[in-house]
Amino acid sequence: MPGVIEFLIATAASRFQAEGAELLSLSGAPLARLDRNATHDALERVLDQIGRGLESVSGFRSLLAFKSKFHPEYRPLYLTYPQATALPAIGTAVARSYLPDLDTAATVTLLKRMLRRR
């Protein structure tokens, strides 16, 4: 039924507000952002490429589009890390949190697909 999720979110938000809540988070949409046409550094371009490649399995960009229906106040989320060499392990941990059943063979297939689209 179209609109059910929107109704549930709006109803919950109204109830939270009635109970005194001043802030409701719709959470983040990793590897998706609003400023698609802006100029970005090399790391941001790599992350955009990864985001495009993972859209079919993660849906983060479509999630961001869905959340825009609620006219949220967008606030950037940042990840701090001790050094650049930690990024592969961090990326693996984040990927496993969203795609826990992704095995090595599926990862290789996904990476090949991403590289072909490039």
pTM of the model: 0.68
User: What pLDDT was estimated at residue 37?
Assistant: 63
pLDDT in tens, 45-57: 888 888 887 887 7
pLDDT in tens, 37-46: 677 788 888 8
Classify each residue of 9-31 as buried b or exposed e, where b means 16 or more C-beta atoms within 10 Å of its C-beta: beeeeeeeeeeeeeeeebebbbb
User: What pLDDT was estimated at residue 116?
Assistant: 75
Residue 98 clears pLDDT 90, i.e. is over it: no
Of 5 and 33, the structure prediction assigns the larger pLDDT to 5
Q: Residue type for 71, please?
A: H
